[in-house]
Each structure stands twice: as C-alpha cells, then as structure tokens.
Structure 1
Amino acid sequence: MKSTYFLLSAMTASLLLVGCNGDNVDTGSNEINSKKISSSEVNVSQSSTNENSEVERVVTHGNFVEYETEAELFADAELVVIASTNEDFMDREHIVKYVPSSDEEEGLPKAIEDFYTKTSITVEQVLKQPASEKVADNKKISVIEPIALLEDGSKILSVENYQEISRGQQYIIYLKKNTNGKYGVINMTNGRFNLESTDQIVNLAEHGHDNDKAKHEKMKDTVKNRFAKEIAKAKK
C-alpha cells in the first residue's frame, strides 16, 4: 500500500452516512452531521490489490455512530444479505454533487458537497429483512456506498476509509433504508464483510484510526460465526 498526502484546496464535503441529501440513509443517530473539509490535509492511498490500484484514493472524515459489536450492528440493520456484484467499480453510477458557485467564484475549483456510488448487487441469501418487505433470493437491488469516482476518473473519494464492494466477491452486507426508500451500507467498511478474501484495510494512524484492520477482522470473525451455516450453503 502506497500512501501520500496532498492538500485538498478549495474543496468541501458535506457528508452523510451513505450519500448525499437526496439519497442519504435515514438512520437517526447514525446520520453523519454536515461536515466541511476545506483546504485540509487528507490521506491518498493507492492499493495494489484491487481493480482500481492506479487511482488515487482521497480519504475524508465523517461523523457517524460506530457500532462496536456485530450484535449492535445486526440489531439496527434492516436488511442483511449475502450478496455479490458483477459490476466493476469504475462502471458503476457515481454521484458527485458540487456546491453552486457564485459569480465571484467563477474560475475557481469546484467545491464538492456530497458523493456516493450506486452499486447493483445480487442477493444470494437473505439473513434478515423487515417484516413488511420480502426480498427474494437472486433478486438484484441497488445499494448506496459512501465512496465515489470523480467524473474525470482521477480520484476515488472515500468516507472514513470505506472500501468498495468488489466485483465477483461474496459479501455479508448490513443495510438500512434512507428517506427515499433506498438501501445503503451502514457502519462504513465494518458494514460489509468479504467472504472470499482478506479485505485491504488501511491503518490510518494519521487520522486516529490506528486499529482499523484489527477491528474489522474481529467483527468479521463474529459475523462468520453467526452465519456459519448460511455461508457454507452460499459457497456450495
């Protein structure tokens, strides 16, 4: 993993848990408060293990309620599934919204207000769902991830080091609906768990996240223990 720093000048981000004002997850206390990042130092990472290894990653902070245990995560999630996607990350629908500029700001860099990605997943097994809704196995649904690719393809923006759902990999994903009825991943990277391989989780000591990888792996072990039978079935 190669990491560098650069100054994100004249750029702001008003971030919600899994998207922007139009598609944010309505999670009560789990909604990220409006947070602006202006001319601040952020982390840019290049991963050598995923399909987007040559694209710079801009990791931004966001205020959100973190679930410390899988039990808390499972209790608050509305939909939990074993699922996968056949979409390459670069080919997904990426939404990046900009702050409207005034006449005085003409010619200045655009300020980013919100960003997220819509990812189409195929539900292989439903592990939890609302009583009022039935999500069938093998159904395709669109979910929101707190990450996006800039229009020019030069950078990937990620909230709290969120790692995208990779094509062709099986995941257990914890989801919750937003005010528009769209499902989004909750708890950042600790809301989706790769069953095929070890996730590339960066320890962001510079951002106060010096144990991200250990925390993720610990929660992942609990997830795999809870759903051992379902995972075995999914792998057959």
Structure 2
Amino acid sequence: MTKKNIICLSALILMGSLLITSLVNQKSAAQSLSNDLPTISTEAKFVKYNKINDLEEAADLIIVGTPSQEFKDRDRQVKRFKDGLISDFYTNTNINVEKVIKKPSDLDINQTINIIEPVSTLISENRQQKITTEHYQELKKDSKYIIFLKKNSFGNYSIINMESGKFNLDSTDPTDLPEDKQSKVEKDDLKKNIVKKYSDKL
C-alpha cells in the first residue's frame, strides 16, 4: 500500500468516525428532547416570602432530602369537576430524608416522607403535557434539596412559596433557578441566606 493510499484510508476512517459521532450526538439530543413535555403553567394566589425568617416561620416542616423516583414514576394526580374542568392537580413525591431542621412535635419522621408538589401531567388524545402552578419545576430524582413545607387541610405536607420553597444544594438540578431574571435574583439571594444560616445542618 502506497503512502498516498494510506493517507486516503486514514482520511476515510476519520470522516467515518466524525459521522458516527455526529449521529450519536443527534440521537442523544433527540432522546433528551423527547423527555421534555410541553408545559401549561397556571396562575395562583399564594403568599410569597422573600426573607428567610418569614419563610422559616411560615413552614411547619423543613427537611433536607432527595426524591427517590423519577417524575414519570411518581403518583401524579389531576382532579376534575363533573363537567370535566380541572379542580386540582398535584404530585405525591417520596423524599429520602437526610436531616430535619424543623418539625411539629407530633410528627414522627423516620427515613422517608411523602410530600405534595404543585405539578402533574395531563393526557388527552394520546398527547401528554405537564401542568404546573406559577412555573414550578418538579424536584429531580437523587438531587439534594432543602425543602420548606406546610401541612394542608388534608393532613399532607405541601411545598410552600412555589419555586422559592425548595433549593437544590448539590448543583444537580439545572432548573432550580427560574428563567425570569427578577425571580432568579430573588431566589438566588434567598438561597445564599438559607445556606449561610443552616450551614452546619446541610
């Protein structure tokens, strides 16, 4: 085999490798995109806390923990009126509890607790959509959070303060900070104060 033929063969091998890499990257991107559901965000009236002391006082329960399941595997609920209109929606999320910062005296927490998130999914005409409140993003499996909760009228513990009621502590949740610039700044400032105050417990 001549030197010229060797150079041509090497070039073909290199081009083939680049083509395979490109196809693999395109496939990975397509798979990632397929996991992103179109989202409907609803508005809600809720008390917003921008100061750590107010948030802490409003919460009945403050925990540090990680969700044990992917969002798609959780118990997602959508309640409807008789006419078919949506009356309520939420997701039951199981949390592996690492630490308890605040809790009611009558609450016994072992290693896990089920909490309520203001997000769910809708399926209609073979199409699935995510439905959420005030652009809330669900907790991610195995990501570590500090979570602020309040007991609701049904005896369950729900996240308060929407997006600013849970804070990712290990930088594994890329959706933890809101896209809106002002909301992002507010949550980031609140997060810094929380991490500083509870530094010995996180």
Interval of TM-score (by shorter of Structure 1 and Structure 2): 0.7 to 0.9
Report the identity percentage. 32
Q: Distance in 1 between matches of 2:137 and 2:198?
A: 22
Which residue identity does 1:92 align to in structure 2? R
Q: Secondary structure at the match of 2:201?
A: helix
Match of 1:211 among 150, 173, 182: 182
Shift of 1:86: 1.8
Q: Distance in 1 between matches of 2:43 and 2:100?
A: 31
**Which 5+ residue runs of structure 2 have no aligned equivalent?**
1-29
Q: Distance in 2 between matches of 1:51 and 1:177?
A: 36
Shift of 1:125: 0.3
Match of 1:115 among 71, 89, 92: 89
Corresponding pairs, count: 167
* Deviation readout 1:177-235 (Å, 9 max, x if unpaired): 112211111110101000121524221xxxxxx5111111111111101111112xxxx
Match of 1:221 in 2: 192
Which residue identity does 1:202 align to in structure 2? E
How do residues 83-122 of structure 1 correspond to structure 2 at under 5 angstroms?
Answer: 83-101=65-83, 110-122=84-96
Match of 1:135 in 2: 109
When residues 69 and 75 of structure 1 are mapped into structure 2, their CA distance, relative to the original with a 3 A threshold, is same
Match of 1:62 among 39, 44, 60: 44
Larger Rg: 2
Match of 2:60 in 1: 78
More displaced, 50-59 or 140-149? 50-59
Q: Distance in 1 between matches of 2:45 and 2:152?
A: 17
When residues 52 and 116 of structure 1 are mapped into structure 2, their CA distance, relative to the original with a 3 A threshold, is farther
Shift of 1:151: 3.5
Let me know the Cα RMSD of the aligned residues: 2.0
User: Are the counterparts in 2 of residues 97 and 113 from structure 1 also a CA contact under 8 Å?
Assistant: yes
Q: Secondary structure at the match of 1:150?
A: strand
Shift of 1:154: 1.4
Match of 2:10 in 1: none
When residues 77 and 97 of structure 1 are mapped into structure 2, their CA distance, relative to the original with a 3 A threshold, is same
Shift of 1:99: 2.0
Considering fraction of residues, name the structure with more helix: 2
* Deviation readout 1:80-129 (Å, 9 max, x if unpaired): 0101012000111111112212xxxxxxxx42221111001111100111
